[in-house]
Amino acid sequence: MKTFKLVDLNVERLDKDDQPIEQFPLLDGLIINKEDGENHWLIEALVPAEHFSFFDMLMKSQKEAKVFVTITKKSNRPAQLSGSIKNIVELEKSIQVLIYGQMVSRNHPGSESILESLVKEGYSGSRLIEAFKQKL
């Protein structure tokens, strides 16, 4: 297992249509790659206690939600998981939330056909990479 610093946490709001994703302020957090061959991750997030009702509702519903996490540095691209709340521990001024999830592949629709067409057009090497980035 590998452990990383969690620097940003956004969770799908299944209870609000007008605000589908909410960013939760992190007091501290870790994310652990279970390295089980199934791409499972365990998130431990320490957030202000005022968010207890949302996480409790999500845990009781036993539904999976989209979870977007940024690992190590704020400048890193967020990773998407499909996860569920496994446990909440109430502390004095905060809550510890455990989320168990599976990393979701973020393939761009049509990316294979774009790549195939660029190769057919004769692109290769660094020119292929640049042309592909522009098409996405």
What pLDDT is attached to residue 132? Answer: 74
Query: Would you state the pLDDT for residue 107?
Result: 62
Tell me what pLDDT residue 15 has. Answer: 74
CA distances from 36 to 1, 65, 67, 87 (A): 8, 21, 20, 21
Pairing of strands 40-48, 79-90: unpaired
Closest by Cα among 62, 107, 102 to 82: 102
Q: Which two tokens stand for residue 55?
A: 């996480």
**132 compared with 91, residue with greater pLDDT:** 91
pLDDT at 1 over 90: no
Res. 136: pLDDT tops 70:
no
**pLDDT for residue 20:** 81
pTM (two decimals): 0.75
Could you give the domains of the chain?
2-103 (2.40.10), 108-136 (no CATH)
Confidence class of residue 129 from pLDDT cuts 50, 70 and 90? confident
Q: What is the pLDDT of residues 100-127, one digit of tens each?
A: 999 987 666 667 777 888 889 898 888 8
Give the pLDDT score at 89: 98
pLDDT tens-digit readout, 3-43: 999 999 999 887 776 678 889 999 999 999 999 988 999 99
